[in-house]
Amino acid sequence: MEDQRNEDRNQPQSSQNSSENRENKSEPVNKSNYKKSYYNRRRRFSGRNVDSSNQAPTRISFKKISIVVPVLNEEDSIFPLINEIRKVLKPMELWYEVILIDDGSTDKSLSLIKDLSRTDKRIKFISFRKNYGKSAALQMGFKEAAGEAVITMDSDLQDDPNEIPNLLKKMEEGYDVVSGWKKIRQDPFIKKISSKFFNFVTRIFSGIKIHDFNCGLKAYRKSVTESLNVHGELHRYMPVLAHWQGYSIAEIPVKHHPRRYGKTKFGISRFFKGFIDLITVVFTTRYIKRPMHLFGFLGALSFLAGLVVNGYLTYLWFDNQPLSNRPMLFLGILLIIVGVQFFSVGLLGELMVHNLKDEKEYIIKDKS
């Protein structure tokens, strides 16, 4: 797998694609290049009903790909989605499978999926007895996926299967994860604005300079999906989790369609859950190996602030001023106690980290 990856990195590009690849060689988040490649792509894939069978087949080096699709009550979208995927992948002449994960749907989604799977062996499905959430569904899909590359996409027709070859082409440049960017997002205003805020905060916390963390359309090398472990609402942070495990990430703009059937599964609660999960992500990736860096820093800050406050009051006391009417004294005491507590939590964390050395935490890139 790694050899394959290195091969991809070193492999000279075919002359047919060389100009486009030159364009894409730059950093993944270079705006002007994005613009260029985005509009080129738009020209190529203008319109959702493009008949891909008439297009020249896109040559990619991946021979086996898995498409993982989480499904929750999308009965009207499943057939058109599978048809579109077939149309796009047919000219590419590669082995593929589509893994649909039904997550306790209460409509006809499951029976439609079963029908599809009966007539086409490439369509596979997993059905959960109850709803476990999108992250659990993706995780299960990753476990089942047999492809060298794994694509994830939503099942509500908002993600365009015509972008699959583009994601794979970008990944061939050597990236481990290629994330879609719903640059022109077809969603209600409130969702667009809150998503902008969410992406901004995640960008600051994670240090990853991509625009759209929560795009359903993404491509991963198999090694990445094997090492990711998502649950709760962590699917929003796939690029963050992958980045902190040392994988490289690129982003390409992708076409986004308005929801045609059914309704969104994520209400306002998404923001609260999302931010709680951001804290989980920050802790379990950035600080899990060094809790003292966070708690020690906070503790020292609080302790010092308390010391300054009480030092000042002590000076006043020596100056014969009574402290009985100074509420600031309590603030100082509180800051010192909180500081000591933070410090103790950090120390306990360090003790636990050193005693629970888990080799699974270290992802090996290569070995002789």
Ligand X SMILES: Nc1nc2c(ncn2[C@@H]2O[C@H](COP(=O)(O)OP(=O)(O)O)[C@@H](O)[C@H]2O)c(=O)[nH]1
Binding mask 189-228 for ligand X (x = CB under 6 A): ---------------------------x------------
Residue 133's binding partner, choosing from ligand X, Mg ion, none, with beta-carbon cut-off 5 to 8 A by kind?
ligand X
Interface region with ligand X, contact rule CB under 6 A, candidates 40-48, 144-152, 258-266, 317-325:
258-266
- The residues that bridge with 70 in the sheet, in sequence order, are 101
Nearer to ligand X, 60 or 85 (CB): 85
> How many H helices and E strands in the chain?
13, 7
Smallest CA-to-CA distance from 249 within 177, 152, 168 is with: 177
User: Is 233 one of the binding residues for ligand X (CB under 6 A)?
Assistant: no
103 with 128: CB under 8 angstroms? yes
Q: Does 266 bind ligand X (CB under 6 A)?
A: yes
How far is 22 from 15, CA to CA, in rounded Å? 11
- Least separation, in Å, of the C-beta of 142 and Mg ion? 20
Q: Which stretch binds Mg ion (CB under 5 A): 105-113, 148-156, 168-176, 246-254?
A: 148-156
Per DSSP, what are the bridge partners of residue 220?
150, 177
Q: Which helix (H) or strand (E) holds 218?
A: strand 218-221
Q: Least distance in Å: CB of 163 to Mg ion?
A: 15
Confirm or reject binding of residue 156 to Mg ion (CB under 5 A): yes
User: Counting contacts by CB under 6 A, is residue 72 touching ligand X?
Assistant: yes
Assess 160 for contact with ligand X (CB under 6 A).
no
Residues 138-157 as x/- pattern, contact with ligand X by CB under 6 A: ----------------xxx-
Q: How far is the CB of 77 from Mg ion (least distance, A)?
A: 9
**Residue 273 sits in the site that holds ligand X (CB under 6 A):** no
Q: What span, in angstroms and rounded, lies between the C-alpha atoms of 330 and 368?
A: 61
Note the maximum CA span of the chain. Answer: 92
- Considering only residues 88 through 127, tell me which ones interact with ligand X, judged by CB under 6 A: 101, 103
DSSP code, position 220? E
**CA 262 to CA 270: how far, in whole Å?**
18
Is 186 or 344 the residue whose CB approaches ligand X more closely? 186
Q: Is 158 in the site for ligand X (CB under 6 A)?
A: yes
Selection from Mg ion, ligand X, none that 74 binds (CB < 5 to 8 A by kind) is: ligand X
Check if the beta carbon of residue 233 is closer than 8 Å to that of residue 240: no
Question: b/e for 207-244, b at 16 or more Cβ within 10 A?
Answer: ebebbbbbbbbbbbbbbbbebbebebbbbbbbbbbbbb
**DSSP one-letter string for 308-344:** HHHHHHHHHHHTT---TT-THHHHHHHHHHHHHHHHH
Residue ranges binding ligand X (CB under 6 A):
70-72, 74, 101, 103, 131, 133-134, 137, 154-156, 158, 216, 264-266
